Amino acid sequence: MSWTDSQNLYARIYGYNEHPEEKVEIVSDLIETYPVPATKYVYDNTLANGYKVQDVNPQPGYLVKVYRIVKVNGKVKSNKLLSKNLYEPIAAVIRVGTKK
C-alpha cells in the first residue's frame, strides 16, 4: 500500500520478519557539494525590453552515497554500498526582454 502528500511518498510493506533481531537502516552520506553554475541569460523578443523572468531556479549539485547497514543488538553486522549518485548542479535561467 502506498500514498503521497504534497511532499512525501509513503509505502507500507507487509510480510513476515525472518530476522527480528536485525535492524536495517538505509543511510545517505553527502560526499561533496558542487556550487551553482553561473546564471544563463536568454534573450526573448516577446518580453518588453529589459523585463526579466526567472524560468529555472538554481540548485547546487551533490555527490551522495547510500548504504544499507544491518545491525544485530546494536552492533554493525554488514554495511553495503547500495548506490553512488551524482545530482548535477543547475544554473538559474533568466529570460531578458528585447522587444522594443
At 60-69, the pLDDT tens digits run 999 999 999 9
Q: Residues 62, 29: contact at Cβ < 8 Å?
A: no
Q: Which CATH code is given to the segment(s) 19-99?
A: 2.20.230
Gap between the Cα atoms of 36 and 2, Å rounded: 34
CA gap 69, 76 in Å, rounded: 7
Position 13 scores a pLDDT of 86
Q: pLDDT digits over 39-61, tens only? A: 999 999 999 999 999 999 999 99
Domain residue spans of the chain: 19-99
Question: One-letter amino acid identity for 39?
Answer: T
